[in-house]
Amino acid sequence: MNKTVSGFSKLSKSEKINWIVDTYLPHNTSAKEVLMQYWNTDVKLQQLHDEFIENTITNYYLPFGVAPNFLINGKTYTIPMAIEESSVVAAASKAAKFWLDRGGFKTEVLSTTKIGQVHFKFNGSFETLSGYFNHIKPKLFEDTNAITTNMEKRGGGILDIELRDKTAEIDGYYQLHVSFETLDAMGANFINSCLEQFAKTFKSHASDYEGFSEEERDIDLIMSILSNYVPECIVRAEVSCAIEDLKESEQISGEDFATKFVQAVNIAEIEPYRAVTHNKGIMNGIDAVVLATGNDFRAIEAGVHAYAARNGRYSSLSHAKIENGVFRFWMDIPLALGTVGGLTGLHPLVKLALEILDNPSAKELMQITAVAGLAQNFAALRSLTTTGIQQGHMKMHLMNILNQFNANNEEKQALTEHFKTTTVTHTAVVEALSALRR
Ligand code: MEV
């Protein structure tokens, strides 16, 4: 059977579903129902979601939860999180509560510069090209006036344009390396529009520049695009307290806990196998806030992991130390986030998430998001170095196992009670459920 199609995007939603079901799911009698049960009954709201992307056939739900009690620079926040992993919101809430009683989180935005590049090839020397670049630079700024006026009025815009020689790596390859300040916007459209205008101006004026020979006049543009690597768009989040204040139970002293915790962080600093999982835990918190606030989690992920490898070895994003009896745990992380533009003004839940956060500026959102990451990391390391991760994980996963076996509300209640004092494993849950049903 031919499983390809042409003109698919022009079909109606029902026609698309019919084609998919007929072509790939001919024996699945409930396929249409499964897809349609996620349609919103509010036709306008559904249309909004349909129009976010091409070929929408249904909506994909993720839980939207909140983690309360975050004290950040003296202000309390309830942080919205969109995520499917059962233990993440619970862990964030627990870490928030822990630090609420110990002075809360401190944060600081260290820098907010974003980068974009025009990549091109030039058939001549760097010196000749530099002459042209200096000649054309004012025109590059001038030709983007229409794009930058509004951003400049608010205090942002193009910070600098640099010419970079990359010929040592690729023959004839140069860049316009441009830095931007985009304020509350993530800025992708602004940056890309500026870059494409630079490329046009840069190429078109080369043809009558007197300092070029005939063959130097033809600049070969390759592409113009922002970079998601933002090592100069950094926020710092940290917590600290006297080590004796870390003590929470009789099982472990504050000092032993702090020592183990620091050792665990040190391991993630030098061992990439551990660092990846360690940072994944940080991203559990970060991605959940990034998604809930309508930002681009792929861009954030790509930028964060590149930053974690900036010294040539993939390493922990967070750090910890004990100094003069004080435990300090902190992280510097690149987060290019926006609170205007993109989905932020469009998606009703995103708008609500930002409202819950008191409509933060991009800088504030950077700080809140970094805290969610640090809190998640703290919660994970605290479990890992004390009880082990599975205790908390499996407790939260219990409901997923019960749902897998279609447990009703009474069964769920009985087994949640039962597993308060018994270790949760897949087998134990299945056995307890069968026993109950017998
Ligand atoms: C699970 O989603 C995240 C952890 O593996 C993070 C970590 O190991 O630090 C618990």
Confidence (pLDDT) at 421: 86
What pLDDT digit, counting tens, does each position of 84-98 carry? 999 999 999 999 999
Active site residue 393: yes
- The answer to whether 184 touches 361, Cβ cutoff 8 Å, is yes
Catalytic residue among 49, 114, 278, 393: 393
Of 296, 332, 364, 397, the active-site residue reads 296
Q: How far is CA 400 from CA 138, 223, 382, 389, 414, in A?
A: 60, 46, 24, 17, 15
Domain boundaries, the chain: 8-50, 73-107+237-387, 114-226, 393-437
Q: Is 389 in the pocket of ligand 1 (CB under 6 A)?
A: yes
Query: Quick check: 390 pLDDT over 80?
Result: no
Kindly give, in sequence order, each residue whose CB lies less than 8 Å from that of residue 305, ignoring residues fewer than 6 positions away: 279, 314
| Cβ of residue 278 lying under 6 Å from some atom of ligand 1 | yes
The whole-number pLDDT of residue 134 equals 98
Q: From the CB of 380, is ligand 1 less than 6 Å away? A: yes
| Helix segments in 159-253, DSSP class H | 188-204
Q: Are 382 and 79 in contact (CB under 8 A)?
A: no
Q: Quick check: 392 pLDDT over 90?
A: no
**Ligand 1 centre distance from Cα of residue 433 (Å):** 28
Residue nearest to atom 6 of ligand 1 (CA): 281
In the block, which residue shows the tokens 């900036």?
310
Dihedral sign from CA coordinates of 276, 281, 284, 289: negative
C-alpha distances in angstroms, 341 versus 223, 296, 370?
24, 12, 21
Is the minimum distance from the CB of 276 to ligand 1 under 6 angstroms? no
336 torsion bin: left (phi>0), alpha (psi -120 to 50), beta (else): beta
Instruction: Specify the residue with its C-alpha closest to ligand 1, atom 10.
Output: 380
Residue 226: Cβ within 10 Å count: 24
pLDDT at 343: 87
Residue 395: which pLDDT band, with cuts at 50, 70 and 90? Answer: confident
Task: Kindly state the average pLDDT of the residues 269-283.
Answer: 98
Predicted local confidence at residue 190, as pLDDT: 97
CA atoms within 13 A on the CB side of 55: 10
Residue in 329, 254, 418 with CA at minimum distance from that of residue 434: 418
Query: Which candidate in 13, 32, 85, 269 is catalytic?
Result: 85
**Is residue 382 within 6 Å of ligand 1 at its C-beta?**
no
Residue 7 has pLDDT above 80, yes or no: yes
Bridge partner list, 30: none
Mark whether 280 is an active-site residue.
Answer: yes
Q: Which CATH number describes the domain made up of 114-226?
A: 3.30.70.420
Residue pair 287/83 in contact by the 8 Å Cβ criterion = yes
Catalytic residue flag (residue 296): yes
Question: Is the shortest distance between the CB of 280 and ligand 1 below 6 Å?
Answer: yes
Q: What pLDDT score was predicted for residue 214? A: 94
CATH value of 73-107+237-387 in 3.90.770.10, 3.40.50.2300, 3.20.20.100, 3.40.640.10: 3.90.770.10
Is 232 noted as a catalytic residue in this protein? no
Cα(278) to centroid(ligand 1), Å: 6
277 lines ligand 1 (CB under 6 A): yes
pTM (predicted TM-score)? 0.93
Q: Is the pLDDT of residue 206 over 90?
A: yes
pLDDT digits (tens, 9 = 90+) for 44-83: 999 999 999 999 999 999 999 999 999 999 999 999 999 9
Mean pLDDT of the chain: 96
In one-letter notation, the amino acid at residue 211 is G
For CA atoms 248, 326, 89, 77, the dihedral sign is positive
> How big is the CA angle at 200 (ends 196 and 201), to the nearest 5 degrees?
115
Does residue 72 have its Cβ closer than 6 Å to ligand 1?
A: no
What's the mean pLDDT in 398-424?
A: 92
- List the residue whose alpha carbon is closest to atom 1 of ligand 1: 281
